[in-house]
Amino acid sequence: MIQAHTGGTGSAALTLSGVSLAYGEGARRRAILHDLSFDVEAGEFLCLVGPSGCGKTTLLRLLAGLVRPDAGSIRVDDAPVEGPSRDRAIVFQDYSRALLPWRTVAGNVALGLEGPGARLPGALREQRVAELLETMSLSHVARHYPAQLSGGMQQRVQIARCLAQSPRLLLLDEPFGALDALVRQSLQDELARLAKVEGKTVVFITHDLEEAIYLGDRVIVLAANPGRIAAEVQVDIPRPRHQLETREDARFLALRHQLFGLLAGH
């Protein structure tokens, strides 16, 4: 296994050791995840890629603290995960059901600034919302309702809301899976840039191998039934990456060849 961590700073922001989870009762009990162990360095962009049924989404829900593992431990900054925390923001795949349809774009972003431990004075809050809208190129639709926006724009709103939370860890569940190719590419580049600029630790789930290699500092390939680690590779392609050149880079193609069989074989 390759041990060089180009993207991270060297200290583990997230540690999984021996995590297992099963659903169902009695004879129908089925293992979803089996004995998963890996670290994510602070500031690292980790991509998890796997076929459907490998428990990707379940894994992300575990990291968010929405579900508890049956066995093993999950630690964030050396503290065990015991439930959801504002330090870990989650971007859901189904953007249409993850926004409040009765709030404007600005209102949805502000949601990330509300709640316990996030009491900003009104003026500061508005300023922060405006900054985030600017960052995600949403300023011109600030007063629109989600139903008036395209899927790509709705997903931008969701990302902006997650950034508003000022999380240490950004968890994304196939966020661009439902978007068309051009929109997907521009959002990929923006996310990659933002993650590095803001120094966020990112766990990004996808079923698209190329997307995983393109975005990640490291890629973990999961195998299905039950979900377990099949391979782990370091992506030593310098940033900023480029949609055309990176995808034609020899290292990119080599990784793609190396991992393709693993995904197709299952």
Tell me which residue of 163, 182, 180 sits closest to 171, measured CA to CA: 163
Query: Is there binding between residue 66 and another protein (CB under 8 A)?
Result: yes
Query: From the list 23, 30, 70, 84, which residue makes contact with another protein (rule: CB under 8 A)?
Result: 84
Based on CB atoms, which residue is closest to another protein, 77 or 189? Answer: 77
Least distance (Å) between residue 114 CB and another protein: 7
Q: Quick one: which segment of 23-31, 88-96, 184-192, 239-247 binds another protein (CB under 8 A)?
A: 88-96
Based on CB atoms, which residue is closest to another protein, 51 or 107? Answer: 107
Q: Quick one: which segment of 84-92, 177-185, 187-195, 207-215 binds another protein (CB under 8 A)?
A: 84-92
CA distance 44 to 110: 27
Considering only residues 208 to 237 of the shown chain, the ones binding another protein according to CB under 8 A are: none
Q: Quick one: which segment of 59-67, 205-213, 215-223, 229-237 binds another protein (CB under 8 A)?
A: 59-67
Query: Is there binding between residue 114 and another protein (CB under 8 A)?
Result: yes
Query: From the list 10, 26, 116, 121, which residue makes contact with another protein (rule: CB under 8 A)?
Result: 116
Least distance (Å) between residue 209 CB and another protein: 26
CA distance 106 to 141: 8
Query: Is there binding between residue 165 and another protein (CB under 8 A)?
Result: yes
Based on CB atoms, which residue is closest to another protein, 151 or 185? Answer: 151
Report angle CA 32, 34, 36 to the nearest 5 degrees.
Answer: 120
Query: From the list 73, 148, 150, 243, which residue makes contact with another protein (rule: CB under 8 A)?
Result: 148
Query: From the list 32, 46, 54, 64, which residue makes contact with another protein (rule: CB under 8 A)?
Result: 64
Least distance (Å) between residue 128 CB and another protein: 15
What letters, b where the CB count within 10 A reaches 16 and e where it falls short, cover 154-184? bbbbbbbbbbbbebbbbbbbbbbebbeeebb
Query: Is there binding between residue 63 and another protein (CB under 8 A)?
Result: no
Based on CB atoms, which residue is closest to another protein, 75 or 266? Answer: 75
Least distance (Å) between residue 196 CB and another protein: 24
Query: Quick one: 97 exposed, middle or buried, by C-beta within 10 A (0-12, 13-18, 19+)?
Result: exposed
Largest Cα–Cα separation, the chain:
57
Q: How many residues touch another protein (CB under 8 A)? A: 30
Which residues sit at the interface with another protein, rule CB under 8 A?
61, 64-66, 83-86, 88-90, 92, 94, 97-98, 100-103, 111-112, 114-117, 145-148, 165
